[in-house]
A and B are shown apart, each in its own frame.
Chain A
Amino acid sequence: MIMRVTTKMLSQSLINNVNTNLNRMEKYQNQLSSGRLIDRPSDDPVATSRLLAAKSDLKAQEQYSSNMKDAAGWLDTVDGALESVGNVLQRAREIAVTGSSGTLAQASMGALADEVDNMVAELVQTANSSYADKYLFGGGKSGRTPFEVAGRDNHGRITDIQFISADFDKSLLAETYSRKIEIEAGVTIDIACGKTVFHTDTNGNAEINAVFNKLIELREKLDAGDQNAINPLISDIDKYIDNVLSERAVGGAKSKRIEIAQSRLSAYELNLTDLVGKLEDTDYAITFTSYTSQKTIYQASLAVGAKLIQPSLLDFLR
């Protein structure tokens, strides 16, 4: 059947079609000028929810990445500090060996005692090292220096070291020393490494300032010239050295773990960034092509429209 066509139909169709074309053009223009593929969730609900999930995931990964950088920096600093603790103990061992050999004059013994006293002072300084304003071996107390010289004898030699406070109890050591950091979703790592190095006795039990006390004891024995008493100290110091080494091993393992996690994370982060970009950003090549072709269609519909609505039978009568 031939449809009866009226002038109003023609103009209405024209308006509808031109509008549809303009609408499409507006969409592309919007994507081009904003650079965003999705303006509101209804543009693409599935992509929107993926995008939101990816973005919050990415934010979290950035946080984990920063956490890991902090953790790695902390562990490196701890390792450095423990290394110097090990060196000090190594030297103390040598002194103890020399002191116990029985060939030294009392004056030489006194010189060795002086050196050990300096070592104690040096060790206090090392034990007070900090990273980003936080004391490495200070537990949770970060506002004040954890190790302080609490007593000296008549010759100005250190006789007592105080950890945190005079009434600090060793039972507090375990829980107060944790410093947990999340490195992956649900994976935390305790970076409070080397926390027990100064506070473990030769039997592996908790004893506040065990290492300092041992060195002070060595210094006292050297002062007294008691060679026989120095001898057993050597094996004690050996145990402390072992202790430091095993703590360093623990720290190293943690560093390694973070390093592995970091490399995995950076690959994941890259993928996520890529995904977010793909979901969110306008692909200019494709969109601009679509835009141009849409523009051509729009212009054509306008041109045809202008020709279409003009003529009527009246133009040809008479």
Chain B
Amino acid sequence: MSLFFGINIALKGMMAQQTALNVTSHNIANANTEGYSRQRVNLETSVPISGLASAGQLGSGVDIAEIVRIKDEFLNYQVRKETSRLENHIAVSHTLQQVEAVFNEPLDTGFNEQLSQFWNSWQELAKAPESSPVRTVVKEAAGSLTDTLRQMSAQLHEIKDDINSQIQLAIKEVNSLSTRVARLNDQIVNVNITGQNANDFMDARDLALNELAALGNISLTDCLDANGKPTGAIEVKLGNITIVDAAGAHEISSSDINPDAVTDGELAGLLQAGGNSGQSNTVQFYIDKLNTLAVGIAKSINDIHTTGKDLDGNSGQDFFVFKDNEGELIDLTAVDWNDPWSSGLSAANIYLNANIENDVAKIAASKQGGIFLEGNGDIALAIAELKHTLMKYDPASQMLTNSNAGNLSLGAFYQDMIAELGSAARETGKTVKNQQTLVDQNIKRRESIQGVSLDEETVNMVLYQHAFDASAKVISVMDEMMDTIINRLKA
């Protein structure tokens, strides 16, 4: 047994401790790096020498088995899954908040208030049907009512358009992330072939996967080689669409994305909020309700107004009119009132009749013509009474009609809609909060396992330093022994 053998053991020890210190240094340096998981050096005893000493095997020192990253795959899966859900709810919640801002209730400038003022203006007209100033007040109230309806409708449509452009952006992001994952796949496979762990590449890939999970629900599968062994690459599916496989990334386009394909994540949330499911968490729901309200108001008032007489003794015209895309008036006599939507009637194109706008004498407040026409406000009163007339809402045609079998007033219809909006926004807001807590907890648990603890690394540092020092000391002792043998032993 030569003395040099001992020096070699010490040398291997020093080298191992130095490598371990390097890993510690790497950990500390990356303590705040997003997506970094701490790494650990696995040391093992090197192959012992047998048969030299009668006592048995003689240890030959230490080797570095591998450098591994500490990773909890299940927690990572949890984080991805819950993040998908969270982003889904956030997308819906943000949209509903925007819708809330459109209606601007319960402020004194909201539609509710304007509708009240509109009805009151008819009451005043019923009391003073011949008064031109009072007629002008009715005109102004009606004008601001239609302005508000059109504006709210336009804003809701803007939100919907905005959702579509957000979906485009998200798809772009998915494509850029899938390209990144495919590239990292290649790099990991190349490192794995040499038998090493591509720790940092895998961290980078996990990070990209987390970002993907925020956009949509993803599922992962290991790619296998010809022998059925994992190559290190992974296959990624967004919903049921494969976006990354062993061959590389596959770009998706907006035509691939639909609620059946993607069921979670920001994309699903956007699809939900921008969709036509008829539920109170979609923008379309409020667009439809507003249309129902606008057409309901217009129809019920027109029906009464056209039975009246204006100040010139002529029969009343339609009080509210609708314009098509070219700005031409839509012929209301040709409209099928069980389906006014096919004729293009909506809150987006309701106007006060221009003839009335230009001449308030055209407001038909009187029930009769003849000599006493101007002092009669029966029609104005009948319109004012629509405020508390119970209308019938038919969910099939989405029409609100003035019928005997009704159960809610026009104002109540609007208030119900606001209540539904409030509930929907509140519920999703709460869900976001709860889901955020869940995600935070999962991330905390993941961090607890994967994160770098500076205290721990400091302890390791001291540990490795001492081992390094000790190994060096062994060499020094061996050196002295050598000195003893070579220089001191004089025959």
A interface, CB within 8 angstroms of B: 3-9, 12-13, 16, 38, 40-46, 48-49, 51-53, 55-56, 59-60, 62-63, 67, 70, 132, 134, 138-143, 164-165, 168, 172, 175-182, 185-186, 188, 280, 312-314, 317
The yes or no answer to B487 lying at the interface (CB within 8 A) is no
A67 to B380, CA, bound (A): 14
Which B residue's beta carbon lies closest to that of A184? Answer: B388
- How many A-B Cβ pairs are below 8 Å? 192
Q: Which residue of A lies closest to B430 (CB)?
A: A42
Can you offer 23 A-B residue contacts whose CB atoms are under 8 A?
A: A4-B449, A4-B453, A6-B451, A8-B447, A42-B421, A42-B425, A44-B426, A45-B420, A52-B112, A52-B414, A52-B415, A56-B113, A59-B117, A67-B127, A140-B371, A143-B130, A176-B368, A177-B372, A179-B375, A180-B377, A181-B381, A182-B123, A317-B458
User: Which residues of B in the span 456-477 have a Cβ within 8 Å of any Cβ on A?
Assistant: 456, 458-459, 462
Interface 9-residue window, one of B51-59, B99-107, B163-171? B99-107
Task: Identify 20 new A-B residue pairs, CB closer than 8 A, beyond the known A8-B31, A60-B387.
Answer: A4-B448, A6-B448, A6-B451, A9-B447, A41-B419, A42-B97, A42-B423, A48-B418, A49-B419, A49-B422, A53-B415, A60-B388, A134-B128, A138-B375, A140-B366, A141-B375, A188-B381, A188-B385, A280-B106, A313-B454
With a cutoff of 8 Å between Cβ atoms, the chain B residues found around residue A141 in the complex are 371-372, 374-375
Are B448 and A5 within 8 A (Cβ)? yes
Contacts A41-B105, A42-B426, A45-B422 given; indicate if A12 touches B368 (C-beta within 8 A): no
**Does B444 sit within 8 A of A, measured CB to CB?**
yes
Min CB–CB distance A96 → chain B (angstroms): 34
Contact A55 B113 (CB under 8 A): yes
B372 touches A176 (CB 8 A): yes
| Across-interface contacts of A8 in B (CB, < 8 A) | 31-32, 447, 451-452
- Contact present for B419 and A165 (CB under 8 Å): no
Task: Considering the complex, give the chain B residue whose CB is closest to the CB of A186.
Answer: B388
Residues of A within 8 A of B420 (CB): 45
Query: A3, A43, A176, A313: which contacts B371 (Cβ < 8 A)?
Result: A176
> Which of A52, A175, A179: most chain B CB closer than 10 A?
A52
- Establish whether residues B375 and A142, one from each chain, have CB atoms under 8 Å apart when the complex forms: yes
**Which B residues from 360 to 376 make CB contacts under 8 A with A?**
366, 368, 370-376
| Nearest CB on B from A195, distance (A) | 11
- B contact residues around A42 at 8 Å (CB): 96-97, 100, 421-423, 425-426, 429
Known contacts being A7-B453, A41-B105, is A139 close to B375, with CB within 8 Å? Answer: yes
Known contacts A41-B100, A41-B421; is A140 also within 8 Å of B426 by CB?
no
Task: Give the nearest-CB partner of A37 in chain B.
Answer: B106
Interface residues of chain B, those whose CB is within 8 Å of chain A, are 31-32, 96-97, 100-101, 103, 105-106, 110, 112-113, 115-117, 119-120, 123-124, 126-128, 130, 366, 368, 370-378, 381, 384-385, 387-388, 411-412, 414-416, 418-423, 425-426, 429, 440, 443-444, 447-449, 451-456, 458-459, 462
Complex alpha-carbon distance, A99 and B458, angstroms: 131
Q: Tell me the bound Cα distance from A172 to B372 in angstroms.
A: 9
- Residues from chain A with Cβ under 8 Å of B440 in the complex: 12, 16
Contacting residue for A45 out of B103, B384, B419, B452, CB 8 A = B419
Question: How far, in angstroms, from A182 to B127 measured CA to CA in the complex?
Answer: 9
Interface contact B459-A9, CB-CB below 8 Å: no
B106 touches which one: A16, A41, A46, A176 (CB < 8 A)?
A41
A80 to chain B: closest CB distance in Å? 20
Q: Decide: A67 and B453 in contact? CB cutoff 8 A.
A: no
Please, how many angstroms separate the alpha-carbon atoms of A182 and B448 in the complex? 71
Closest residue on chain B to residue A3 by CB atoms: B448
A140-B419 contact in complex given A6-B447, A59-B117, A313-B458, C-beta closer than 8 Å: no
A3 contacts across to B, CB distance below 8 A: 448
- Neighbouring A residues of B452 by C-beta, 8 Å: 6-8
B113 surroundings in chain A (CB, below 8 A):
55-56, 59
Q: Check if B459 sits within 8 Å of A48, measured CB to CB.
A: no
- In the bound assembly, the distance between CA atoms of A16 and B366 in angstroms comes to 65
> For residue A45, which residue of chain B has the nearest CB?
B422
Alpha-carbon separation in the docked complex, A144 to B32 (Å): 89
Assembled-state Cα–Cα distance A172/B369 (Å): 11
